[in-house]
């Protein structure tokens, strides 16, 4: 099995917009190849899925950062309240 390589298609990270804008070279007349509509439909689906998962990852990162900040704040408040040298 051969891996498809293109200077344009694989440059940089895959993004939803990059996948949606991707065009694969057409086969020469008389040669076998994929149906253009099927390839386009797959690329649109991949772009949609990547976009959705990117949004989910970003929401998870934001929530993680919110929780870390809340923990730091709680730890600082507790340290101020308990005073120095008091560790339980």
Cα 66 to Cα 64: distance, rounded to the nearest angstrom: 5
Query: Residue 36: its pLDDT value, please?
Result: 80
Q: Cβ distance 78 to 44 under 8 Å?
A: no
Query: Residue 3: its pLDDT value, please?
Result: 47
Cα 21 to Cα 7: distance, rounded to the nearest angstrom: 14
Query: One digit per residue, pLDDT tens: the chain, 88 residues?
Result: 444 455 555 567 778 888 888 777 777 777 677 778 888 888 888 888 889 999 999 999 999 999 999 999 999 999 999 877 665 5
Answer whether 0.85 is exceeded by the pTM: no
Q: Cβ distance 86 to 55 under 8 Å?
A: no
Give me the DSSP letters along 52-78.
HHHHHHHHHHHHHHHHHHHHHHHHHHH
> Could you tell me which of 19, 24, 12, 22 has the C-alpha nearest to residue 46?
19
Query: Residue 20: its pLDDT value, please?
Result: 81
Query: Residue 44: its pLDDT value, please?
Result: 86
Sketch the domain layout of the chain as residue ranges: 36-82
């Amino acid at each position: 099995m051969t891996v498809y390589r293109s200077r344009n298609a694989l440059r940089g990270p895959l993004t939803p917009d990059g996948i949606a804008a991707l065009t694969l070279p057409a086969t020469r007349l008389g040669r076998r190849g994929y149906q253009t509509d099927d390839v386009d439909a797959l690329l649109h689906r991949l772009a949609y899925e990547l976009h959705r998962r990117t949004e989910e990852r970003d929401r998870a990162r934001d929530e993680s950062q919110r929780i870390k900040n809340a923990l730091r704040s709680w730890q600082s408040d507790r340290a101020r309240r308990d005073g120095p040298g008091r560790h339980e």
